[in-house]
């Protein structure tokens, strides 16, 4: 997956919409976990786009997917129009939805395949463009049809876009890395230890 191109698309989307709108590698634990550290980073102008808040939003989305809770998924996703796309490239498989109903249907199918996502790192823009912030993410994915050589699943990286006023998810775009990829080095690229704050099983930081 071309992360640079994806990030460029997200930033381009953010600009257009703003003008229009003016951890450890162990597994087997439950995905639902409380926040275990306060956000010590400086305040952003819009609370949903602070590192901790953005990470909690993505964790809520991952939990809703794990539980097959369509109503909770829809609460996290932006309404159609502001919502742009959900895409997940897993090995040789690619899943894409461009409307909320398509995304809910797709996530329901992935739930039937036992898909579970854990948010591992969220690196959010310090200065969002308008009312939309882009963020880099590291996640781990497990699914019955996704072959992985580690208990916690395949590592994936990607980009998301969050509306800073509404506090909802407009873009989700991730792709799995090679099976030999290591989790902690991937996390450190997105959130160096000295810049991050722990939020459940994730590390959150400003870019």
CATH number at residue 182: 3.10.450.50
The per-type count for the chain, helices as H runs and strands as E runs, is 5, 8
pLDDT tens, residue by residue, 31-82: 333 333 334 444 444 589 999 999 999 999 999 999 999 999 999 999 999 9
Least Cα distance to 148 among 176, 174, 110 occurs for 176
For the residues of the chain, what is the DSSP string, one character each? --HHHHHHHHHHHHHHHHHHH---S---S-S-----S---SPPPSSGGGSHHHHHHHHHHHHHHHHHT-HHHHHHHBPPBTTB-EEEEEETTEEEEESSHHHHHHHHHHHHHTT-EEEEEEEEE-SS-BTTEEEEEEEEEEEBTTB--SSTT-EEEEEEEEEETTTTEEEEEEEEE--TT--HHHHHHHHS-GGG-EEETTEEEEE-
Structure confidence by residue, pLDDT tens digits, 143-167 = 999 876 677 889 999 999 999 999 9
43 domain residue, yes or no: no
Q: Which of 2-11, 23-32, 38-47, 166-175 has the lowest mean pLDDT?
A: 23-32
CB 190 within 8 Å of CB 204: no
Supply the range of the domain harboring residue 144.
Answer: 3-13+48-206
Domain count, the chain: 1
Structural domain contains residue 23: no
Question: Is 27 a member of any domain?
Answer: no
- Paired sense of beta strands 168-176 and 85-90, if any: parallel
Residue 35 lies in a domain: no
């Amino acid at each position: 997956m071309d992360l640079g191109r994806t990030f460029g698309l997200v930033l381009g989307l953010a600009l257009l919409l703003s003008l229009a709108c003016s951890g450890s590698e162990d597994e087997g634990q439950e995905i639902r976990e409380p926040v275990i550290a306060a956000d010590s980073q400086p305040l952003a102008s819009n609370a949903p786009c602070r590192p901790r808040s953005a990470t909690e939003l993505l964790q809520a989305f991952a939990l809703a997917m794990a539980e097959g809770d369509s109503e909770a998924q829809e609460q996290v996703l932006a309404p159609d129009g502001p919502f742009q796309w959900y895409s997940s490239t897993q090995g040789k498989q690619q899943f894409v939805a461009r409307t909320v109903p398509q995304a809910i249907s797709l996530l329901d199918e992935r739930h039937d395949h036992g898909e579970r996502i854990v948010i591992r790192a969220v690196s959010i823009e310090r200065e969002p463009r308008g009312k939309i912030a882009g963020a880099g993410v590291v996640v781990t994915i497990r699914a019955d049809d996704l072959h992985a050589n580690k208990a916690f699943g395949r590592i994936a990286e990607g980009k998301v876009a969050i509306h800073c006023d509404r506090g909802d998810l407009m873009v989700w775009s991730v792709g799995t890395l090679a099976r030999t990829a290591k989790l902690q080095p991937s996390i450190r690229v997105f959130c160096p230890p000295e810049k991050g704050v722990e939020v459940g099983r994730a590390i959150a930081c400003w870019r």
